[in-house]
Amino acid sequence: MRFLKAIAVASFLISINLSAQVEFRNKEVSITNENDVYLLMNFDKYYSNGVFLNYRWSPREDSTKGGVKRVYTLGLSHRFWTPQDVTITRSQFYYRPYAGMLNVSYRDASFYGENSRLMYGVDAGVTGKPSGAQAFQEGYHNLFGFPDPEGWDTQISTGFVADFKLEFNYQFQLIPSEIDLVTSTSGSLGNAFTNLRQRVDLRFGNLKSLRHSSFFNALIGEGSDAIEKHSYFFAGYGIEAVGHNVTIEGHVFDDDSPITEEIVPWVRHLRLGFVTNTQHSTFRVLYNWLSREVKTRAGRHSYISFQLDLRLPFKGVTP
């Protein structure tokens, strides 16, 4: 009997220990889709659709030398832009050119302390017919019975594009774990997008520090074995100084695009979002509003994005 009791007690203790163990997760896959059709307002224009696939990883060691947490990202993105109405046949009436872009990207993000992040990265890709934007839109419009887009033969011409990206973020805690303010200063330099941006986001809900928050994809690596379910809302406002936008102006050098337009040098951006997290996943929905980007009759624009992140465990269980 004593032997059986000892086995029962040991089994109970082992079960408690195993149930308390949480897997260390140092990898993450992510998919995002952005489209104005989700607004259910019966229009398809300007920034028409974007799909982003990302793979992220963080060093297995609990955050490395000097207290810096690193998160790396490899990405693939596909985006396209259209005029105000894809059924217009006369290109002189377009408010914005047709444009498509296919990119690969790399990001290196470093979290210093609990409240700051520095990211740099590069994007490289192609515009024009090789981007696949024309084939994609024509294909799904045909598949689902939408009107045929009429102007892809006038799209921004084929060309190679590359940009360098840099961003710094800082978190100001107004009410710890409940309300904070996150500032983001970023820039892009290249022959696709050249700009400077300043944004402020007000977050409220069940908040974590930037080092351990999904706000900047930091729920992998250090701290991933202590994630609790949490959700939050945020509202952001930003302003962008635009130097060049290939989807509007065409290529910087030797552009032979049939139609181009002049950019608006200052663009405002409003966004509202909700994020919910578990140990295994993050889901976010985001409403985006942009002021006028083109010096024609083109107006402001809005769209909704959905993002799902799935975190993958390190081999085995963290002891």
For the segment 305-310, the average pLDDT, to the nearest whole number, is 98
Query: Is 198 a member of any domain?
Result: yes
Separation of alpha carbons 129 and 81, rounded Å: 13
Residue 14 lies in a domain: yes
Domain count, the chain: 1
Distance of alpha carbon 168 from alpha carbon 198, whole angstroms: 10
Which band of pLDDT confidence, cut at 50, 70 and 90, is reported for residue 61?
A: low
State which residues form the domain around 117.
2-313
Confidence check: pLDDT of 88 > 60: yes
> Is 141 within a domain?
yes
Answer yes or no: is pLDDT of 10 > 60. no
Structure tokens at 260: 């181009």
Instruction: From residue 3, give the alpha-carbon distance in Å to each of 23, 113, 141.
Output: 33, 51, 71
Indicate the pLDDT class of residue 90, thresholds 50, 70 and 90. confident
Whether 32 is covered by a domain: the verdict is yes
Q: Which amino acid, one-letter code, is at 167?
A: E
Taking residues 233-256, what's their average pLDDT? 95
Position 193 pLDDT exceeds 50: yes
Minimum mean pLDDT range among 59-73, 121-135, 165-179: 59-73
Phi and psi at 178, nearest 5°, equal -130, -45
Cβ pair 227, 279 in contact under 8 A: yes
Q: How many CA atoms lie within 13 A of 4 on its CB side?
A: 1
What are the C-alpha distances in Å from 204 to residues 207, 225, 261? 7, 24, 40
The residues near 256 (Cβ < 8 Å, ≥ 6 apart) are: 157
This prediction has a pTM of 0.89
Q: How far apart are the first and last CA of the chain?
A: 32
The listed range with the strongest mean pLDDT (5-14, 80-89, 158-167, 220-229) is 158-167
Confidence of residue 62 (pLDDT cuts 50, 70, 90): low
In a domain, 318, yes or no: no
- CATH of residue 93: 2.40.128.140
Q: Taking the CB of residue 63, how many other CB atoms lie within 10 A of it?
A: 16
C-beta of residue 311 within 8 angstroms of C-beta of residue 212: no
Output 11 or 76, whichever has higher pLDDT. Answer: 76
- The per-residue b/e assignment along 254-277, b for 16 or more CB within 10 angstroms, e otherwise, is eeebebbbebbeebeebbebebbb
pLDDT for residue 265 is more than 70: yes
pLDDT classification of 122: cutoffs 50, 70, 90: very high
